[in-house]
Structure 1
Amino acid sequence: MKWRKVLLTLAILVAVAGVAGVTAVVLAYHEVTKIDRSNPKIVLDEYLRAALVAKDEVGVDLYECAHPEKLSDLRAMRADLDRRESEFNVQMLVSWGAMTSVDKSGTMELGTSLTVTAMENGVVQGRQTELWYFELIEDDGWRVCGATRSLTPAPAASADS
């Protein structure tokens, strides 16, 4: 009888420890994989990576605001790049540079140069750089709500960059 109580107590302790361990792992996983929307530049970087590099609609949705109608210019750009890849059998690579910011009380405007490089069999076929401005709003963290291509040409990239 005494051994039954000891074994029952041990079984309860093992079960409690197991539940506590699983809970700790789940909480740690949640913390590590949590979306960080605290910095507008990081949000824009992640958004551009999802939209223009990975072509990941789920990733895009994580960083867009609830009403992303003002992102149609960027969507059109992505569609045009996809069309050119298919039509000319090239790979269209998009990169961006440093970001400038203007804080507008609850919104943030970030500017960056988007560089599109056409590659065919690992050889650069062409490169174009455009200046873009992005509007981000503070809504449970920063979210991208607008994208506008500047009419002013972006400064030419140096051969060293």
Structure 2
Amino acid sequence: MEPDPQRERDTPGDRPDWSPYDEAAAQEDAEWRRNRRRRWWAILGVSSLMLCLVGSAVGYILYDRATRIDRSTPAIVVEQYIYTIFEDRNLDGAEVFECRDSSSRESMQALLADIEERETRYNIVIKVSTANYASSVVGDNAEVSVSLRVDVPEEDGRPSRSTQQWQFQLRDEDGWRVCGAAKQEP
């Protein structure tokens, strides 16, 4: 039996062996395929929408955790405070880590001004990092002792490092906040 192109296209034509039942079955089959295609597109669309919503929620949660200010321990607050002042060079941003009646701003601002003056004078970038944290908490007050490492680049490419010991006083005001900072003399 040879293929019949007229029948293969699902068009009944004027054939005597083509009955109205065949035509109804062909229409029913075509309708079933169209509905199945629509159903799969709807499922694909809803799945894509859900994936986008879940991805957005996860992204928001991860971003929020990464950028949230952590005031859970005095040492973490001191580290974020020093990073904000010396790495970001943002004294206004450091206010979120300070007590209402903080006296730490002046000493940190003086050190930052000295560093920036040297950077301008010698056209270099000075890095400040922290090390050797020691903290003691008594009630709502805490003291954190930390070493500030000041790395100054030299002509030979290697940094020259000086270490300064600093003492920070903190108070728990809805999370730990820096109330005072003083350089300790050796």
1:123 shift after superposition: 3.1
Q: TM-score, normalised by structure 2?
A: 0.62
Displacement after TM superposition at 1:23 (Å): 8.4
Map of 1:123 onto structure 2: 158
Answer with 42-51 or 101-110: which moved more.
101-110
Match of 1:63 in 2: 97
Of 120, 127, 146, which aligns to 1:86? 120
CA distance in 2, matches of 1:40, 1:85: 30
4+ runs of 1 displaced by more than 4 Å?
21-32
- 1:27 and 1:101 mapped to 2: Cα distance? 31
Gapped runs of 5+ residues in structure 1?
A: 1-18, 154-161
**Relative CO higher for 1 or 2, CA cutoff 8 Å, sep ≥ 6?**
1
* Alpha-carbon distance, 1:84 to partner: 0.8
In structure 2, the CA distance between the partners of 1:123 and 1:134, relative to structure 1 (3 Å rule), is same
* Aligned counterpart, 2:70: 36
**Alpha-carbon distance change, 49 to 31 in structure 1, aligned in 2, over 3 angstroms:** closer
What is the Cα deviation at residue 149 of structure 1? 0.4
2:104–2:178 contact (8 Å) kept in structure 1: no
Partner Cα separation in structure 1 for residue 59 and residue 130 of structure 2: 36
Instruction: Determine which structure has the larger strand proportion and give its number.
Output: 1
Shift of 1:57: 2.9
Distance (whole Å) between structure 1 residues aligned to residue 92 and residue 75 of structure 2: 19
Matching residue within 58, 65, 72 for 2:106: 72
Distance 1:128 1:51 in 2: 18
- How many residues were matched structurally? 151
3-state SS, counterpart of residue 104 of structure 2: coil
Aligned pair in 2 of structure 1 residues 27, 101: CA closer, same or farther (>3 Å)?
closer
**How many Å separate the matches in 2 of 1:144 and 1:90?**
30
Unaligned ranges ≥5, structure 2: 1-52
Distance 1:48 1:32, change over 3 A: closer
